[in-house]
Amino acid sequence: MSRKVTVLGAGLVGSLLSIFLAKRGYKVEAFEGRPDLRKSDISAGRSINLALSHRGIKALNALGLNEEVKERCIPMPGRMIHDLEGSLDFHPYGKEGQFINSVSRGGLNELLLDEAEKAGVTIHFNHKCNDVNYRTTEAHFHSPEGEKAVSSDFIFGADGAFSALRNSFMRGERFNYEQHYITAGYKELHIPPTENGEFAIDPNALHIWPRGKFMLIALPNLDKSFTVTLFLPFEGETSFESLPNDEAVLAFFNKEFADAVPLMPELLHDFNNNPTSGLVTVRCYPWTRGNCTLIGDAAHAIVPFYGQGMNAGFEDCHVLDQLLGEHGELSTELLKKYQELRKPDAEAIADLALYNFIEMRDKVADPKFILQKKIEKRLNELFPEQWLPLYPMVTFSDLRYSEALEIGRKQQQIMNKVMEYPGIEVAWENLDFESIVNQL
Ligand code: FAD
């Protein structure tokens, strides 16, 4: 067979997809706009670490990469909530033994690049795609050797939220496209290891300082530091705009995140030097034109609050590979099947991620919300087959995102009624749990 496939972008999704396709016998060439991150001193781009969970792990497992990836992971079995006084409260994400993983974006990308090359993929770095003719399956690149045109049988756009392939679709007919920025942006900060070389706070948790309209989070790194991210509106009363100088930044942090300030000796340096970036949701359709297809963020960039963007992109690759297993080889029809299967799930996770911002920055500190989670946990313990709460359904199962969203909505309607029972705060243990489950 050996048909030629071009993959645009050798980020997380592009490199994983390249491995899947090479293992199916395709001659894969990946073109990455940046230099080789294994040889150059660049970070892999935005966000230094990420939460890897079941769907992403399942795709990696399908390629036998579980052990190598596991070595790069720090398990986070729950959220550690920091209140204004610095008191801590740990909320498990799921059952005993369930956890999400903090993994370095650069480290994971390096591993996938190595594995892609081992599988026979040729990766061209410093090749930025500037145009694609999707009718003739020809991609055009700026490269150190000048302008290049590359023809192939199939092209995959794994070139992220600002995809060149998607831009070419947009110039064609009947392509739907919507991009939406939320009002908040983010800035990365840093908690270094302590003087003794230890983690400054518990490494086995995703730390959250929820403060209503904004929040701070921290995820552990293998070098015993934490990557900290401040999510804050760009404009308004408490916003990036309202912090114009060091004095204002320090006053804000001392008021809102007092327990974190002593852990961040480089706070002002990081705040002043690290970029403030926007958070976008991209929805578009169709993903496939002829033999060209969008995948990962290029097809469905989402806000990061469910920790699912990469996981969803990895699941795209796995679903495509399963379709190849069922139908034999790449074709326009198979690519259409892939988009029809994945689009409802991409829509669902985009909505869930937007909703989870409210949950993380606001609700996790609300006693009523905490009680609801407690009741749902009990329902799950008593009726594990019938009641799986939404977060574990999204994070620890591979139920389709669209089904998880639908079940989650039904559960929420039921829980809205349960939470209105008079005296629920004390009476919840005596609820008729079976009749609650039977409402599903
Ligand atoms: P990208 O990672 O954007 O990779 C695209 C690649 O294509 C890059 O290497 C880029 O250089 C290259 N490229 C771009 N344009 C061109 C071009 N024209 N020509 C050639 N190459 C090109 N997801 C999770 O699952 N868990 C998390 O915890 C999580 N946290 C996040 C936190 C933040 C702050 C953000 C912003 C995102 C987070 N995500 C998370 C989402 C995750 O980062 C993305 O979903 C994931 O990176 C998508 O991978 P991708 O390969 O599709 O796109």
Contact 122, 30 (CB under 8 A): yes
Nearest alpha carbon, ligand 1 atom 38: 304
Same-domain check for residues 141 and 194: no
- Distance between CA atoms of residues 275 and 124, nearest Å: 28
Position 43 scores a pLDDT of: 56
Domain that holds residue 394: 366-438
Taking the model in full, what pTM does it have? Answer: 0.96
Q: Which two tokens stand for residue 260?
A: 């974190």
- Pocket mutation for ligand 1, best pick of 6, 15, 16, 47 (most atoms within 8 Å of C-beta): 47
Residue 360's alpha-carbon distances to 37, 74, 117, 157, in angstroms, are 32, 21, 39, 32
Q: How far is the CA of 159 from the centre of ligand 1 (A)?
A: 8
361 located within any domain? no
Sign of CA dihedral 84, 88, 89, 95: positive
Query: Do 251 and 201 lie in a common domain?
Result: yes
Whether 235 and 380 map to the same domain: the answer is no
Each of the 440 residues of the chain gets a pLDDT tens digit; together they read: 559 999 999 999 999 999 999 999 999 999 999 999 999 766 544 458 999 999 999 999 999 999 999 999 999 999 999 999 999 999 999 889 999 999 999 999 999 999 999 999 999 999 999 999 999 999 999 999 999 999 999 999 999 999 999 999 999 989 999 999 999 999 999 999 999 999 999 999 999 999 999 999 999 999 999 999 999 999 999 999 999 999 999 999 999 999 999 999 999 999 999 999 999 999 999 999 999 999 999 999 999 999 999 999 999 999 999 999 999 999 999 999 999 999 999 999 999 999 988 877 777 778 888 899 899 999 999 999 999 999 999 999 999 999 999 999 999 999 999 999 889 999 899 899 999 999 98
Name the domain boundary from 356, 390, 407: 356
Q: How far apart are CA 160 and CA 372, in angstroms?
A: 37
Residue-level pLDDT at 41: 66
Query: What pLDDT is stored for residue 2 in this prediction?
Result: 59
Determine which residue's CA is closest to atom 32 belonging to ligand 1: 304
The residue count of the chain comes to 440
In this prediction the ipTM stands at 0.99
Query: Ligand 1, residues 7, 8, 12, 395: which to mutate, most atoms within 8 A of Cβ?
Result: 12
Distance (Å, whole) CA 164 – CA 388 = 40
56 shares its domain with 171: yes
Cα separation of 238 and 412, whole Å? 31
**Last residue of a domain, which of 307, 323, 356?**
356
- Judgement on whether residues 412 and 377 belong to the same structural domain of the protein: yes
**Structural domains counted in the chain:** 3
